[in-house]
Structure 1
């Protein structure tokens, strides 16, 4: 891009010099124009020649080359250089919208484990995960990444699965449970038997999914390339017929006169209004989107967004805040404040996410002198004396172990049951919180004629179903791993029309494969993982789901402006071409009309920057 900019600057300086320096030596003046032309248009002509050798004749490079060289042949040197300069300026604007996101998925390497603790007798040996075999016994200590898929044979712990499922709530695992690579062991020591080699493990599959999904995703052709495929051969054929046919059939017509008209026709036919205004329209749309906190990584994605029919969401961190907070307090026999206080004190010595949520909700300083006899029961909960009262806080297993009747019709979320002096005192619901604008986002999308809204989540069925129902989503699929999400996405692709697009919105490492596979991948950039942001085509920098509808409106407005420019340019150009072919208008009149159309189209393009009226 820097090279193109420098070529434009240097060529412009030489071009201005050629216009200003008045000399009698014609060849010197011509040499300056040729120098300016070669500097700015040499690559375009070279590309045209290379494409012709490959059988790709009619593209915009060929059209620009033949039109500008034609201008030189009929002595209109300034026009030849000016048209090429305009073209390169348009291409420079377009280059800002080039997709840069898919070159690297380095961020995903954060979930790749560096080693595995393989047990040989009583000794633990650090081993490369690639060298561990099925059936080997591995030990995962607190804070370590789980290196391979396996089955727990000893130990209990809480496991952070957010790298795989995107869920903020840790999962409890024990003997007999499956262990997935890429997760982080939070507190206990786990011994597991390896069930899959590293090449087949979950973490490796995620990396492969991103790479493969990117290759499946078709790239939108640039409009000007598609346009030139039809426009260029038509213009060239008409120009050739204009040069050859009239002298043969019209009495008194000369080849020199009609060849001049044909070349003038080619110069006029140059679509500079299109090659400048179209990229500018999209550049304006991208600029308008960025003002609204929406980063669009390419004009092709902005174009595709306007054709979206299905929007698929991740849940945690996308529609919800991804923060584990106290949502409900149900007390029996004591006040809600007292229930929260006793529970927060009982859990105060733990760094478990549930404990942190309780302490955050309590929001007061903990006086450790009030606490005694703290006992943590792995996989169940905690017991402690608070102000002399025996407080037991944990899951339903703790209540069953203590033979205390509890509220069994559990609401959605993680439930902390509490007993005081062996009497059930109520329960506290801890769950993720839906973002303030999520419901509005779904309404806005439906108002924007989105046919289907879907949620894919790694969370449990009851949680996912409740969130989907509350927000008014059309479909929900729960308990999905990254590979499952890609499979569901493939199913959803069959439900859209041939021209329709599918957008996926996510924020975690686990979403990267789906973001890469979707027609348009949209990442929540404020709190989203680097891997998701890299894999996405559009990034919502403010983390607001409602901005998705805004982005769609901006894309629709941008396309309207681009189509206005196309229609206006083609109509005016058609009139001027007819007049030029008839010899009624002079070349400079035609040039003036063409430049005027370009200026009007460019001014219209800047409307795309005004995102408020999208």
Structure 2
């Protein structure tokens, strides 16, 4: 597979909240350690607020009575009040800086904070030192609130994981772990319970709430013979379900895996900030050191205390918090916001790629159409077969196939099939089926199969999806099968054009007549018909290498034969509700509602995320540049430095949370 999920190591200065939901304990950079509350403690808002209140009381008391405290012996009163406030507000920063220095990772933002505040204490600027740590702690609090809020949609997904399954045994119903249930076991789901595994309803009907999986707010009615997915909530009736997949292979297990690993695919912007912070921080430290040491030596009348103070201000201003916090938070918000709407994005890198998509290619069956086929016409070609004979023959040869067309033929036949009469079964990809049925050589498939086998016939231009049949190499007739368009298919194409997608394309294995009619109905710009699976890859290759092409190509499919095309496109999307496992595994983005209109929504979410991330980059760098210049010329004080650091970080965090809406 082209895109295997893997973890990337974090860097010492990157502040990227990798795997928020997993509380990753192996963070290499300081800010994550600092913000994960001692390696994974649950965020406790009341505890944090209480701590801040205590610090504020000490700090405000010190500010009010600073003159009296300063006049005590050796200013001891000032130290007794401000130092406890400093340690309470800055202990996590000091501890992390010390730990990182021991590990050899010196240059990070906690190092900048520690040097700046200890330097301020050394030159007797105690209120400023405490102020820096206090407002930094306030910034941490707002950041944690923002992270927890952006995590909520993904946390809701994690909570839909079923806890148990009611399995039918000889002694009655037993409650077991979903992992203990095997394929073909029978389970019962009562009203109000979560469906624990993927399966087929064999008794009962009900309404199921699929909102946690797909984002759909309206409950879905399900009946005998329909497929239900693990994680759906049964609303009203008792359902008896035959399990079709093990828990580890179920929809909910795959979704949880996708979401939990989503942050391992980092966007180019995030990688840039990681590299930027790695070089930026030591440069700031050495520039500050030069400002503290050189002017008193070179400028007549310059005092060490004044230039040390300016250098300390520069250190505080230069902390890259706004960037290294808000950018990963913005991408995480984009992934979480999309998940809430039934769009699972496997990494922030695909959000960036989506913003550049200008060509969208759709598979037809199961993507633009419902894939729920019905037999509409049975046409025998000679007197040896009537309609019933032809349908019986088709049902028998299609008895081993899982294709929706085969299922529709078996449904139309409506009787049990003795599969023992079918021998030497061979499925020819893109053509059809060849088998021995009742000691006769039977072919069933497309017009292309008849040409391949040199079967003479005169029915090349039949409107609709057609299964031709030949017995002992003599043409027997054909069956016409109809497929319906999805309700939002036309709106999906219109929405893509509204948001600036330049070209829409449809690929199908169906004949030219069907492809032309559907393309016209939907307003699709171009189409390719009568394609084999490998020919679909060739079409994508051609689009990827179009001369003058300046955008990316997205492909949306659902079948197992779509997996190679999904893998080859710049962005591969799979219909996840009823799509094949291979397509979902290969895809970069999974649409759980099976609605093609979600493609435009995914692109819109990506563009909004990208816009907000770059707003934060421009804002943070712009403000910091201004205040760095002011600090060098002695205009900015430590209070302005606090705004340039914590204030900018807070504003960037608040801006990043907008992507969730």
Coarse TM-score class (shorter-chain normalised): 0.5 to 0.7
Q: Evaluate the alpha carbon distance shift between residue 535 and residue 86 of structure 1 in structure 2; reply closer, same or farther with a 3 A threshold.
A: farther
Q: Evaluate the alpha carbon distance shift between residue 345 and residue 328 of structure 1 in structure 2; reply closer, same or farther with a 3 A threshold.
A: closer
Match of residue 292, structure 2, among 230, 233, 243: 243
Answer yes or no: is 1:293 the counterpart of 2:293.
no
Report what 1:257 is aligned to. 306
Report what 2:268 is aligned to. 220
Q: How does 1:79-478 map to 2 (within 5 A)?
A: 79=132, 83=136, 220-222=268-270, 223-225=272-274, 227-228=276-277, 232=281, 235-236=284-285, 238-326=287-375, 352=399, 356-358=407-409, 360=411, 378-379=441-442, 409-415=461-467, 428-457=479-508, 467-468=518-519, 470-471=521-522, 472-476=524-528
Contact 1:524–1:539 under 8 Å retained in 2: yes
User: In 2, Cα distance between the equivalents of 1:278 and 1:552?
Assistant: 19
Q: Unaligned 5+ residue runs, structure 2? A: 1-21, 26-32, 59-78, 122-128, 155-264, 417-436, 471-475
Answer yes or no: is 1:37 the counterpart of 2:93.
yes
User: In 2, Cα distance between the equivalents of 1:42 and 1:465?
Assistant: 69
Q: Evaluate the alpha carbon distance shift between residue 282 and residue 271 of structure 1 in structure 2; reply closer, same or farther with a 3 A threshold.
A: same
Count residues with an aligned counterpart.
449
Report what 1:370 is aligned to. none
Q: Compute the RMSD of aligned alpha carbons.
A: 5.1
Query: How many angstroms does 1:557 deviate by?
Result: 1.6
Query: How many angstroms does 1:17 deviate by?
Result: 10
**CA distances 1:479-520 after superposition (whole Å, capped 9, x unpaired):** 3445x5555544433338797433232223343344344332
User: In 2, Cα distance between the equivalents of 1:250 and 1:260?
Assistant: 16
Q: Evaluate the alpha carbon distance shift between residue 606 and residue 34 of structure 1 in structure 2; reply closer, same or farther with a 3 A threshold.
A: closer
User: In 2, Cα distance between the equivalents of 1:493 and 1:42?
Assistant: 51
Query: How many angstroms does 1:545 deviate by?
Result: 1.2
Match of residue 7, structure 1, among 15, 38, 45: 38
Report what 1:191 is aligned to. none
Query: How many angstroms does 1:292 deviate by?
Result: 2.0
Report what 2:119 is aligned to. 73
Contact 1:72–1:80 under 8 Å retained in 2: no
Q: Evaluate the alpha carbon distance shift between residue 410 and residue 282 of structure 1 in structure 2; reply closer, same or farther with a 3 A threshold.
A: same
SS in 2 for 1:317: helix
SS in 2 for 1:539: strand
Contact 1:40–1:84 under 8 Å retained in 2: no
Query: How many angstroms does 1:587 deviate by?
Result: 0.9
Report what 2:554 is aligned to. 503
**CA distances 1:147-198 after superposition (whole Å, capped 9, x unpaired):** xxxxxxxxxxxxxxxxxxxxxxxxxxxxxxxxxxxxxxxxxxxxxxxxxxxx
Query: How many angstroms does 1:548 deviate by?
Result: 0.5
SS in 2 for 1:24: helix
User: In 2, Cα distance between the equivalents of 1:291 and 1:496?
Assistant: 38
User: In 2, Cα distance between the equivalents of 1:288 and 1:454?
Assistant: 28
Query: How many angstroms does 1:305 deviate by?
Result: 1.2
SS in 1 for 2:365: coil
User: In 2, Cα distance between the equivalents of 1:45 and 1:489?
Assistant: 51
Answer yes or no: is 1:479 the counterpart of 2:545.
no
Q: Evaluate the alpha carbon distance shift between residue 85 and residue 26 of structure 1 in structure 2; reply closer, same or farther with a 3 A threshold.
A: closer
SS in 2 for 1:312: strand
Report what 1:521 is aligned to. 572
User: In 1, Cα distance between the equivalents of 2:115 and 2:373?
Assistant: 67
User: In 1, Cα distance between the equivalents of 2:102 and 2:511?
Assistant: 59
User: In 2, Cα distance between the equivalents of 1:318 and 1:577?
Assistant: 54
Q: Evaluate the alpha carbon distance shift between residue 33 and residue 289 of structure 1 in structure 2; reply closer, same or farther with a 3 A threshold.
A: closer
Report what 1:536 is aligned to. 587
Report what 1:176 is aligned to. none
Q: Unaligned 5+ residue runs, structure 1? A: 53-60, 100-216, 333-338, 367-373, 382-394, 419-423
SS in 2 for 1:562: helix
Report what 1:568 is aligned to. 619
Query: How many angstroms does 1:348 deviate by?
Result: 7.1
User: In 1, Cα distance between the equivalents of 2:411 and 2:294?
Assistant: 86
User: In 1, Cα distance between the equivalents of 2:406 and 2:591?
Assistant: 32
- Mean Cα deviation higher: 273-282 or 353-362: 353-362
Contact 1:68–1:267 under 8 Å retained in 2: no
Contact 1:68–1:81 under 8 Å retained in 2: no
Query: How many angstroms does 1:267 deviate by?
Result: 0.7
Contact 1:94–1:283 under 8 Å retained in 2: no
User: In 1, Cα distance between the equivalents of 2:88 and 2:646?
Assistant: 23
User: In 1, Cα distance between the equivalents of 2:52 and 2:389?
Assistant: 81
Query: How many angstroms does 1:409 deviate by?
Result: 3.3
Report what 1:145 is aligned to. none
